[in-house]
Amino acid sequence: MSAKERFLKKLQDKQPGRTVFENKGQADIAEFQQQMSQLQENVETWLAGTGIQAESTSVSLVEFLIGGKAFNIPGIHLRYENRKVKFTPAFLYGQGVTGCVEVSLCAEGAPVPLCRLFMRSAERNHWTWRPAGRSTQPGETFSEEIFFNMIEGLLS
């Protein structure tokens, strides 16, 4: 290791709050976890004053592209009366995206898929979404407006 490499490593080690990951997979897992937590904070802000609470869950995923290792990602459940909308992490890598979340409505029987959210795609580096069953269409930016249209089934 050169003097410069040693110096830069020591400098990096001294910087507080900076996590060094061994590989891209670990960095993507950490980002997925962080982005799901941020998404829940946004949802809680959007739902403030409605009486609908966002509950945190934990979902275990296995990603075969990074050695078949299991890791936990936060999920989100929204409940209203006897209905629930679930934001369930589905996979880390696939379909040209990083970080996929299945959103479904659970009411009287089997869950009904509403859409998929994607943390990152080739086109965008923020949450995008696609309606269920339309995986070939380009994703659109996920927003507060889209969120409320999506969860409207809670009130039906």
The answer to whether residue 111 sits within a structural domain is: yes
pTM of the model: 0.82
């890598």: which residue's tokens? Answer: 93
The answer to whether residue 42 sits within a structural domain is: yes
Domain ranges, residue 47: 23-155
Q: Which two tokens stand for residue 65?
A: 């592209």
Task: Give residue-wise pLDDT tens across range 2-26.
Answer: 777 777 777 766 666 556 667 788 8
The answer to whether residue 15 sits within a structural domain is: no
Contact 140, 146 (CB under 8 A): yes
Task: Give residue-wise pLDDT tens across range 106-120.
Answer: 988 789 999 999 998
Mean pLDDT, rounded, for 121-140: 77
Count of domains in the chain?
Answer: 1
The answer to whether residue 4 sits within a structural domain is: no
Q: Which two tokens stand for residue 115?
A: 């859409």
Task: Give residue-wise pLDDT tens across range 27-42.
Answer: 899 999 999 999 999 9
- How many Cα atoms sit within 13 Å of 58 on the Cβ side? 4
User: For residue 2, what pLDDT is reported?
Assistant: 73
Amino acid type, 114: L
